[in-house]
Structures are given as structure tokens and as C-alpha cells.
Structure 1
Amino acid sequence: MISKFAIIVSFIILKVNSATFEEDVTLTIKQKMSLDEFKERVIPSITKNYMKTELYLVKWLRSSRFNLDLAEERFRRNLQWRKDQKMDSIHDEDWSDMWNDDIRYYIDGRDKLGRPYALIEVKHLDIRKLILKGLGDRYVRYLDKGVDEACQLVHEFGERYGNISRGSLIMNLDGFNIVQHVCIRCMPYLIRGLISFVDHHPECLDKTILVSAPAMIEQYVKLAVSLVPKEISDNYLIYGTDKNVWKTELLKYIDLDQLPRSLGERKYLKEWKTRKYQNVFNFFGETMISKFAIIVSFIILKVSSATFEEDVTLSLKQKILLDEFKERVIPSITKDYMKTELYLVKWLRSSRFDVNLAEERLLRNLQWRKNQKMDSIHSEDWSDMWNDDIRYYVEGKDKLGRPYALIEVKHLDIRKLILKGKGERYLRYVDKGVDEACQLVHELAQRYGNISRGNLLLNLDGLNVVQHTCARCMPYLIRALISFLDHHPECLDKTIAVNAPATIEQYVKLAVSLVPKEISDHFLIYGTNRNVWKPELLKYFDLDQLPRSLGGTKIFEGMED
């Protein structure tokens, strides 16, 4: 479920504003004057000839809505990025490891207008394997290399023939597999690659065509595309597995001799014979990306839930496995709370009682805690986060005496933090907050004996997709959520969100309706009607444990600063 919505995020980011060549080269007098001024500002900093052409420069200006200052800032950031990433020599590097791992793309094909298209075949890709091998950052650089090569070809053709300004993308989704292609750990890297494309190659892409899409993915993406303007949706085409349908559509844009064998024709693409291949920032802004990204975040937050009785009940076979697990890992543990059966069984149960997997995960967690200096993280100075209104509160308790973490989004501005270059510090701050909340669960469990999990309460009053879930924010948010899943199994019971904007409430309720009842019962989301959500909150919390912002009387430390 996480990945299905994440796929939509990825595909929508891919769909940037499209246009014909005539539209790309047609300017009003006022726009032409802006272009002339833009050229005067940036050309002295340019060393590459293709970057000095009006056809190239106008892409930066138009994608900035002819805001000269914004276009200049984006363009200069791009020049610096190209220098920092050594993009001028990236194509000379040895990429045989990616090719041998079947991470391949092809740019040999042309459409009926002579424009290049990039082809990606997902059947033999295994992005998850790359990530698990620690090659995530190399994969992102490989994506940058592929996009740069394709867009350079567009520039080359533009200079050579004079009537080409964009290319197209064809994705053959035959063999698509959510586990291998859009796993949770893969998504930060995929989104980084996509954002890099949007940031550094404006108006390079015209049509995006997906074929052999699994039925569920086809439905989700068609739903998403139906929500965007027609001038965009007409350039985003997705087809299911019926070859008679998608082949007919492909032939409207591409001749038979330019389609590969995997798409039913005879073109041999570069290196094709080496194996048996069958072998947003955009016109409508960040809003659509962020709506789906919010769903990804909320769904990830809903991990397996249970009552205390379920948490402490084991079968005889499970108890034997727990004893074996304890023997293996306790010699490596220094913290007393980690030696308790209540703590250890969380790793075992979340690993489906696979002792080897549980041991591997727990030992990785111990190493992570050491590397991140988690034992001293709470002694660090976090006043900068607090002063930037990045706050959380863990003093509240539910009616069962369990702690809950409260997050109020109204004054948060995650985007500002990212733009200030504090994304990594924000991640560490989130790790600190999660660790503090989960440590409180362990502490209360040892003190009272009947507590195994806590809750999360989100007040979404003032939620703003630009500030809270911007496209540049999502890699950090997803990394933070993955860190939570990796290092704090079964810490969370209920997730309750109130004051959700109508569209977010509808999307998340739709998503939650598709998961099993034992999970959906532990994920509650309510809109902005106080008369609805307050009675629901009072089922779980007393008034003296709710903040004033939610109609209670409790004053949390620092909340009213």
C-alpha cells in the first residue's frame, strides 16, 4: 500500500509541463525582453556553448514563470551543482557495475518527429538489491548520468536540426514488482533522482508513456492524471497489459523500426544483444505531489498494532524462539531495558519470528545507536530546532496511562529548514524525538508492567503542503520514517490525526480502507469539525491530558512560549 501511493508520487513528479516545439520557441515581446536580460545576467558565467543558446536559456526562464531573479538563482545553483557533481566527466566514469546489475536505459530510439526517446525496461531491475548492497547513492548518481545523457542528446539534436526542444520517455512495466522496484527503502533514492531531474533539466521531457502497467497501478495513476489540467494529462499516457491496445497507441508516435523487440518490433538498441531482454515542480506546482506524499507518510506510520495482552502472549514455539534469540543477542547488549523479554520480543515478532533476521536487525540497530551516539543525543543542544518551532511533546498520557507524543504542525516550516541546509540536522532531531518517546514507553513498562506501546497524536490544523511536505522535504521525511521503523519496532499503537484538510482526509481514508481491519482500527483521521473529532479523542484521553489547542486543559512544557 505504501508503495502504490509512492509510485503515484514518482510518476507525477515525472510529468513536467509539456509543449510543442512551436510553443517552446514562441515568445511575446515582453518575454523576449526578459530573455535578453536573463542572457546578459548569466552568459558571463557559462562555459558550455549549448547553454548559451536561447532555446536552452528560455527553458529556465519559462519554468520559473518568467521570474528573472528566480530563474537566475535556479540556473546558478545548477551550474554549481554540475561543478560539485563533476557532471562534465560523469559519462567517462566506469558504470559497468550498474549495467551488469541490469540497471539499464536506452536512448537510441526516435519518434516520428525525429526526437529522441529514453526507454526503461523494469523487468530485470532490482533496485532494492542495490540499496541493500549500500549502492543507493551510486544509483542516484547513475540516474543523474542517464538523465544528463538523454537531455544532452535533446540539446545536440536541437542545435543540429533546429526543430527539436524536448524528448520523450517510454517505460515498459512488464514484470513490475513493488518489492524490487519501489520498496520503502528505495523511495528516498528514487525521489532524490526525480527531484534532481526536475531541478537540473527543465523542459527536457515532453511525453511520458507507460505500457504493460499492472491493473492496480494503471487505475491509481489514471486517477492521479485525471486530477491535473488537460494540457498536462494529454502528454501523460498509461496503458495496461493488453498489447493490442498499447501497441496501437505507441504507433501513433513511433514507427515500427524504432520500437525494440520487447515492445513487439525489431529495433536493436545499444547493447541489446548482450542479454535476453524482452527485454514538481511543474505547471500545477507541488500540491498534487504532496497530497500523495502525505498519504505515503501516514501509511508508513501505521505499523502493526496490538493490545498489551497480545504483546505479551506467546505460543510455546514462540517462547522457545525467544529464548534462543536472547541467548544470541544479550551478550552484545549493555542497556538493561534492551535485555527484557518485552523489548526483545518486539524485534522477534516484527521479524515474523525469524531468529536470524531478528538478530541481524537488532545488531544493526546496536551499531547504528553507537555510530549516531544515541546515548548522548538527549544531552545535545537542540535550542535551534525549538526556536524554529520544530517541537514535539511527550508529557501526555491516555486513559490507560500510556504516553503519547503530540505534534502540532501549525507553526512548523520543514521546507525552510531544508532550504537553510539543515535537513540532516532535522533527521537527527527526529531520531532524538522518537528515541525519547520510545524510551518513555520502556521506562513506564518497567515501572508499571502493563505498558508496551505509546500513541501518536497529530494536530493538522494549519497543514500546508508547501511548508510541510514539499517535494524537497519528502526524502528527509521518508528517511525519518524509515529510521523509526528500523530502530523502534512495535513502539507505536494508535495514530490519531485531527483537523485534517478535506482532501487529505479523503485520500488517507481511502488508503486506510484498503488495509486489513486490524490495522485500520488503529489509524484514525478526522477532519476540521471539532464536534466530530473531540468526542472521539475523549474516548482515549481525559480532558486534563489534552492541550488547549485540542479543547483540553493541559499545558505542555514550552507549548505557549
Structure 2
Amino acid sequence: MDSHRQETYSLSQIKSLHELKQKLKSSHDPSISIWSIPLLDNESEKSDLILLKFLQARDFHVEKALQMLIKSLSWRKDFKADTIVDEELGFKELEGVVAYMQGYDKEGHPVCYNSYGIFQDKEMYEKFFGDDEKLQRFLRWRIQVLERGIKLLHFKHGGVNSIIQVIDLKDMPKQELKAASNHIVSIFQDNYPEMVARKIFINVPWFFSVLYSMFSPFLTQRTKNKFVVANEGNVAEILYKFIRPENIPVMYGGLHRTYDDVQNSHPKSASEFTVKGREKVNIQIVGIEAGSSITWDIVVGGWEVEYSAEFVPTAEGSYTIAVEKPRWVPAKDAAIHNSFATKTSSGKMVLSIDNTSSSRKKVAAYRYVVQK
């Protein structure tokens, strides 16, 4: 569902909404709420939108949507989901690694990244999944991350009402995490209907079909239709279709770092470009005055190209300065981050991407800031 498109509903669907509200009103306290939004507020489009999510999840079958909502309200009470955001659960070492909210997609949806490769280490696995108590604590932390993402949503027609999930399958110990995966999928589907606009699976291995069959029985067809798949060779290309490079972590072919000189200096938004097969691209950043410094980031999805940077002074007869000598950049490398200061000469910076040894097209991006 496109959150930014004004939703239109048939008369029968509007009738289902009113019927659901009446049934809910007759069986529950009028003050019931979810995500701090009163569900029976007749003047609130937020409550209507939430109820419509439950109806859509059950194909507008009122009784099924009502039962789903009642069970979800009960689960939230037992799980203490309304206060989970502020809890200290002791998962600092997993934040920013296993599951975390980072930036927005091109339509404004918050993006949640998920990666479980760290748990192929037996000590890490035992630490967080060694027994049922640890598993339940991990699930609570994972719900906490999701609830933080939901707090970023608008809950209004034409607004941003769902998130994007990027799920990294690289090195994921599929068999060991089977129980946790099933729990997470089940909780999300039963209690967070229509909260995910798109699921992007990246670094998909050859055994993905086996992994998919593991949790496929827990998914509705509507959920399956939101899936996008990227193998290890085209992660950046797929992500660029939905998310701007400055919002994509460097490990996935983007430009975002947790601590970044360029970002802290209010840089321009990233500029995307394509490097065709057998092509060399020169990016020229002109108008760099004497006494200035320039800081830049540049990334090529999958790299496997030759990269160099040089400063070309404006003054006639001046020598070009090799800031970074030509070097081969392997696929595993993250975004390049560098800076150069010119004391006496004005000129331009030329960043070169040489893809002439490959026939494959690559997506790329760069950004920079010039300071006195």
C-alpha cells in the first residue's frame, strides 16, 4: 500500500468499518486505545486508519478483524507493549547491528534494517538464544525496535502509515534461528497488520527457498506480495530504487555512517549516477577556491572498479595533484571518505571511476562539502 496515496474505499468497506466500530463499542471500554490512539474516537481519522488496517488484514471480514483486534489488544496488555519503548533491556551491543531504524525511503517510510549474521558465532547465539528466557527477552527487544519505528508514523490518510523492512540474510544461521524467526513473524503478523509497506530481502543466498518455506506458512498472500529480493551482487542497485544513498548504510552500498564528517557538516544530498560496463566516469567538482577544503564520500555498489582522485588547479601551468592514486577497490569495501585542502590554488576535484574491465553496469553515488 502506498502511504502517500489518498486511499479510497468502497461503500461496502466503509460499512465494514462502521460495523467493526459498533461491535467494538458494544464489547469494550470506550477508552480503549492502541499506540496512544483512542480506537472509538468518532472524530479521529487515526482511529479509522488503524481499524482499516485490521480489516484489510482480514479482507474486510468484520468478525475476523474484530477477533484479531481483540487478541492484539490482549497481547499488548500482557506483553506491556505500550511501555516497552522506554525499557532498558540490555541489548546495547546489538543496537545498530542486528535490528535498528535508520533513515527513510524515497516516499518517507521509516526503514528498519535487520541482520542476524552475528549469531553464527556460537557464543553470541548462546548468549541471546541459549534458553527460552533469553529468547523471550530477545523477542521483547525486537518488538521494542519495531515500536520505536511505529512512533515515527503519521496515522492519517495520505500520510506515512507503514515502515520498510530491509532483511539481510548474509551468514544467517537459518536452522538455529528457526524458533526465533517463527516467533517474530507470528507476532508481527498477528499484532501489527499492514504496518510494513515493503520487505526487502538482501544478500539472498541460494538456500533462500528453504528459508522462505520455513516461515511462508505464517504469511498471508498480501504480505508475500510486498517482498523484494536482492542477491549479493545487486544489493545497492535494488536499495537505490527505494532509498536514497545518503540513508543507506555504507555496508550496503550507501553513504550513511554513524559518525560522519560530511554528514555533520550539512552536506548536499547525495547525487546518484550509473557507471556502464566498459565505461570510465569522471566526476568534476568545480569552483574550489584557494584556502578551502573539500570533504567527499563516494561509493559504487559492489565496487570492483579502479578509483582515483586528483585536484586540478585553475592557474595555467600548474601541476595536477594526485590526491588518491589509482587503485583497485574490491567489492567488500565500503564508501570512500576523504578530504583535501588547497592553500594557494583554486581549481576542481576530479573523482574517477574506471569500470572498463567489466561489462556489468553499476550504481553509484557521491556527495561533498566545501569549507573555508
Say yes or no: TM over 0.5.
yes
Q: How does 1:187-266 map to 2 (within 5 A)?
A: 187-217=178-208, 221=212, 235-242=226-233, 245-266=234-255
SS in 2 for 1:59: helix
Q: How does 1:113-128 map to 2 (within 5 A)?
A: 113-125=107-119, 128=125
Q: Which has the higher helix share?
A: 1
Q: Distance in 2 between matches of 1:46 and 1:229?
A: 27
Percent identity for Structure 1 against Structure 2: 20
Match of 1:35 among 5, 11, 17: 17
Q: What residue is the counterpart of 1:403 in the other structure? A: none
The alpha-carbon deviation at position 216 of structure 1 amounts to 2.9
Aligned CA distance change for structure 1 residues 51 and 251 (closer, same or farther; 3 Å): farther
The alpha-carbon deviation at position 202 of structure 1 amounts to 0.4
Q: Distance in 1 between matches of 2:211 and 2:85?
A: 36
SS in 1 for 2:199: strand
The alpha-carbon deviation at position 57 of structure 1 amounts to 0.9
Aligned CA distance change for structure 1 residues 231 and 100 (closer, same or farther; 3 Å): closer
The alpha-carbon deviation at position 231 of structure 1 amounts to 7.4
Q: Given the alignment of the two structures, is residue 83 of structure 1 paired with residue 83 of structure 2, yes or no?
A: no
SS in 2 for 1:169: strand
Q: Distance in 2 between matches of 1:269 and 1:106?
A: 12
Q: What residue is the counterpart of 1:100 in the other structure? A: 93
Aligned CA distance change for structure 1 residues 77 and 240 (closer, same or farther; 3 Å): same
Q: How does 1:102-181 map to 2 (within 5 A)?
A: 104-125=98-119, 128-129=125-126, 130-132=128-130, 134-154=133-153, 157-159=154-156, 162-174=158-170, 176-178=171-173
Aligned CA distance change for structure 1 residues 198 and 42 (closer, same or farther; 3 Å): same
SS in 2 for 1:207: strand
How many residues end up aligned between the 2 structures? 240
TM-score, length-scaled by structure 2? 0.56
Which amino acid is the alignment partner of residue 107 of structure 2? L
After superposition, the CA RMSD in angstroms is 3.3
Q: Distance in 2 between matches of 1:264 and 1:22?
A: 27
Aligned CA distance change for structure 1 residues 105 and 21 (closer, same or farther; 3 Å): same
Q: Given the alignment of the two structures, is residue 267 of structure 1 paired with residue 256 of structure 2, yes or no?
A: yes
User: Which moved further from structure 2: 30-39 or 120-129?
Assistant: 120-129
- Verify the 8 A CA contact 1:140 1:190 in the aligned structure 2: no
Q: Distance in 1 between matches of 2:87 and 2:220?
A: 41
Which amino acid is the alignment partner of residue 146 of structure 1? V
Q: Which has the higher strand share?
A: 2
- What's the CA shift string for 1:368-422, capped at 9, x where partnerless? xxxxxxxxxxxxxxxxxxxxxxxxxxxxxxxxxxxxxxxxxxxxxxxxxxxxxxx
Match of 1:50 among 37, 58, 74: 37
Aligned CA distance change for structure 1 residues 210 and 21 (closer, same or farther; 3 Å): same
TM-score, length-scaled by structure 1? 0.39
Which amino acid is the alignment partner of residue 37 of structure 2? Y
Q: How does 1:134-533 map to 2 (within 5 A)?
A: 134-154=133-153, 157-159=154-156, 162-174=158-170, 176-178=171-173, 182-183=175-176, 186-217=177-208, 221=212, 235-242=226-233, 245-269=234-258
Structure 1: gaps (5+ residues): 1-18, 272-561
Q: What residue is the counterpart of 1:364 in the other structure? A: none
Aligned CA distance change for structure 1 residues 109 and 80 (closer, same or farther; 3 Å): same
The alpha-carbon deviation at position 51 of structure 1 amounts to 5.0
Q: What residue is the counterpart of 1:66 in the other structure? A: 60
Aligned CA distance change for structure 1 residues 173 and 86 (closer, same or farther; 3 Å): same
The alpha-carbon deviation at position 229 of structure 1 amounts to 11
The alpha-carbon deviation at position 35 of structure 1 amounts to 0.5
Q: What residue is the counterpart of 2:324 in the other structure? A: none
Q: What residue is the counterpart of 2:286 in the other structure? A: none
Q: Distance in 1 between matches of 2:211 and 2:143?
A: 27
- What's the CA shift string for 1:28-56, capped at 9, x where partnerless? 01110111222233361523553532111
Aligned CA distance change for structure 1 residues 125 and 203 (closer, same or farther; 3 Å): same
Aligned CA distance change for structure 1 residues 70 and 220 (closer, same or farther; 3 Å): closer
Structure 2: gaps (5+ residues): 40-46, 261-372
Q: Distance in 2 between matches of 1:74 and 1:47?
A: 15
The alpha-carbon deviation at position 141 of structure 1 amounts to 1.7
